[in-house]
Amino acid sequence: MPATYDFDRFLRYDELAAWLDQLADAHPGLVAIDSYGTSHEGRDLLLATVTDTSTGPHETKPAHWVDASIHATELTATVAACRLLQRLVDGDATGDEAITRALRTRTFYIVPRVNPDGAEWALADTPRFRRSSVRAWPHTDGRRWPGLHAEDIDGDGRILEMRRPDDDGAWMPHPDEERLLVPVPPDGPPPGVVRYQLLREGTVEDYDGFTVPAPGPPEALDLNRNYPAGWATSVPGAGDHPLSEPEIDALVRAIVARPNICGFNAFHTSGGVLLRPSSTAADSTLPAQDLWTWQRLAERGTELTGYPAHSIYEDFMWDRSNPMSGASDDWAYEHLGIFGWTTEFWDIVHAATGSKASTHLWFTGPTDDEALAVVRWLDGQPGDARTAGFVDWYPFDHPQLGAVELGGWNHLFSWTNPPLHLLRDEVDRHADFAVAQALAAPCLAIRRAAVDALGDDVWRVELGVSNTGWLPTQVSERAAKERLVRPVVAEVIASSPGSIDVIGGATRQELGQLAGSSAARFTRGAGGLPERALASWTLRAAPGTEVVLVASHQRAGRAEVALTLAERQR
C-alpha cells in the first residue's frame, strides 16, 4: 500500500484499492468507499462518495459524477480521478473556499477505474492489451481468434512494434530519422528506400505464413459502446445487447440509483480536449438552450484546464454517415437529461510542437512532421527502459514471423499516456473544472419560513424555497421536454404523530421546476423571480407544537427547517 501517492505512476488494482481505503480512513466524515458491482474477472468496482456529512448525507445534495479508465490502457484517467479525490480532501483541510463550499452543499461520486480487468492486463509484468473488456466475445469459450494479439512477446514488460522488410510494405523510414517509420506516399518511396511491414508487438494466432489479419472480435469489445443510448449491432464492440457487460450494467444502475446526479464527466485519453455530445446528431438538432449551456460550461472548462472543447459529431466524427453510438456521455444526456463530458487527457503532438493535434488524429494518425517532432521530443524525456516512449529497433526471433525487429512506439507511455514525470501536471487543473461543474448544479435553499396565528389554534405556515444554483432544477431542456425529472416538492411534517391537522393546502405540494441564475442572461430582469416558489398551509394545532417544513427535489437536494407554532414567527 502506498503511504503517499504523488500521482506520478499508475497503480495496479490492489494498490488503488488500498489507497482509496487509506483516504477514507483518514477522512471519515468526508470520504466513503463502496463497491457497486463486480467486474468480469470478479474485482470489486469501487466508488468514492465525497461530501461533508456534517451538513447532510450524500443523497440529500446535488451531485457530480466522474468516472475513469473505461478503456484498458487509458491509465492517465485513473490518475486524474485520484488527483481529484486528493484535491477535494486537501481543499477541505486548508479551507479552499470553492472546495469547502462544494463539499458542504454538493456531493461528488468518483469511480477511479471502470474497467479494472483491462487495466490489470495492461499493467501486468508481462502485459497484454485489449481495447476495453477482457471478456471473450462474441464466443465465450475463450479460444483466441486468428490474427494479431497485442502482447509482450520478449518478456521485457513492454508492448512495442514489430517491423520487417517487405518489398510491398506500407511503411518506410522518415528521410530525416531512419528509426521512425512513416506511411509510403502516394507515388511510392524514393529509389533505394527499404519498405517495411509494421505491426503491433504480439502473437499471430493461426499464422498461415503469408497474411496477418487484424485482431479478431475479442479485441474489439468496447465497454463505451455498451450503453443504451443509440446502441446498435452495427457499432464495433457494442456487445450482445445494451448493458450486456457487468461493468456497464453495474455503472448504469449505480448512477440511476443516485437521482441527485446533475452532471457527468468520463475521463479518457488521449487528445487534450473536452468532448461533448452528441456523437450521433448535429448541434442544430439539440435544444437551443442546452447548446448554449454546454457552450458556457465549455468556456469555463477551457479557462480552467487549458483544453479546447468540441462537439463530438461536429468536430471529431470522421464519417458522419456512420457515427459511433452507445457512449456514456450520450447516455447521460439522452436518458437522464444531464450535461455529459468526455475529457481526453494528453496531446503529445501539442507537447512536442506547441500546436494542437488534428481532431481527426484518431483516424488518420499524425503527419510525418508531427511524428518526427514527437520522436525527438521523447528522446529528451527522462525515464527508464520500460517507460521510454520511443525505442530503438533491435532484432528478435518471432515465434511465428521469424526474424523481425522490435522497437518503435511504446504507445502506453507516448501516444496514450504522458511520460510519468508529466502525469501530475497534466491532470492537476481538471479538479477545478469538476468543482465548477458541481457548483453550477441546482441547489435548493429555504429563504422564508413563517408562522402567523389566525386564532382558535389555527395557523398559517409559509415556506419559501429558492434554487441557488446556476442550472435549473431540471438541469436541461431535454430533461424538461422528455419529463425526466420530477418537480420540487414542499411538505409539512408534524414533529409528533397526530399533533397537527392540515385544514388548508395539501400536506405535500408540487411547486414545479425552478430556474437557475443562468436564466438571468435571457430575462434581463424582466422575467420575475422564476428561481423562487412559495408553499403555504393552514394548520390546526396547539400552541407550542413543532412542525418541520421540507423542500426537496431529486436533483437539487433537500432542505428543511423546524418551526414552533407561536403567536408570530418569521
Cell numbers standing for residue 234? 452495427
Q: Say whether pLDDT at 391 is over 60.
A: yes
Can you give the pLDDT at residue 513?
97
Cα(242)–Cα(232) distance, integer angstroms: 8
Same domain? 108 vs 229:
yes
* Four-CA torsion 358, 423, 30, 39, nearest 10 degrees: 70
Evaluate whether residue 418 is within a structural domain. Answer: no
Same domain? 75 vs 182:
no
Evaluate whether residue 101 is within a structural domain. Answer: yes
CATH number at residue 270: 3.40.630.10
Can you give the pLDDT at residue 569?
55
**Interhelix angle 97-105/430-440, nearest 10 degrees:** 50
Same domain? 326 vs 470:
no
At residue 136 the predicted structure's pLDDT band, cuts being 50, 70 and 90, is: confident
Same domain? 26 vs 108:
yes
Q: Phi and psi (nearest 5°) for 6?
A: -100, 10
Evaluate whether residue 365 is within a structural domain. Answer: yes
Same domain? 255 vs 334:
yes
Evaluate whether residue 287 is within a structural domain. Answer: yes
Evaluate whether residue 3 is within a structural domain. Answer: no
Same domain? 189 vs 324:
no
Q: Say whether pLDDT at 3 is over 70.
A: no
Evaluate whether residue 1 is within a structural domain. Answer: no
Same domain? 108 vs 20:
yes
Evaluate whether residue 200 is within a structural domain. Answer: yes
Cα(156)–Cα(164) distance, integer angstroms: 20
Q: State how many domains the chain has.
A: 3
Task: State pTM to two decimals.
Answer: 0.96
Same domain? 300 vs 428:
yes
Same domain? 208 vs 354:
yes
Can you give the pLDDT at residue 332?
97
Whole domain around residue 458: which residue ranges? 444-569
Q: Say whether pLDDT at 214 is over 90.
A: no
Q: Say whether pLDDT at 217 is over 80.
A: no
Q: Say whether pLDDT at 570 is over 60.
A: no
Q: Say whether pLDDT at 379 is over 90.
A: yes
Can you give the pLDDT at residue 568?
60
Q: Say whether pLDDT at 216 is over 80.
A: no
Same domain? 397 vs 433:
no
DSSP string, 44-90: EEEEEEE--GGG--GGGS-EEEEEE--STT-THHHHHHHHHHHHHHH
Q: What percent of the chain has pLDDT over 90?
A: 88
Residues 277-329: tens digit of each pLDDT: 999 999 999 999 999 999 999 999 999 999 999 999 999 988 888 887 889 99
Cell numbers standing for residue 393? 529497433
Q: Say whether pLDDT at 158 is over 70.
A: yes
Same domain? 436 vs 480:
no
The mean pLDDT of the chain is 95
Same domain? 44 vs 163:
no
Residues 344-378: tens digit of each pLDDT: 999 999 999 999 999 999 899 999 999 999 999 99
Q: Say whether pLDDT at 219 is over 70.
A: no
Q: Say whether pLDDT at 1 is over 50.
A: no
Peptide bond into 278 cis (omega under 30): yes
Nearest residue to 109 via CA among 74, 59, 72: 59
- Work out the average pLDDT over 176-196: 96
Evaluate whether residue 7 is within a structural domain. Answer: no
CATH number at residue 514: 2.60.40.10
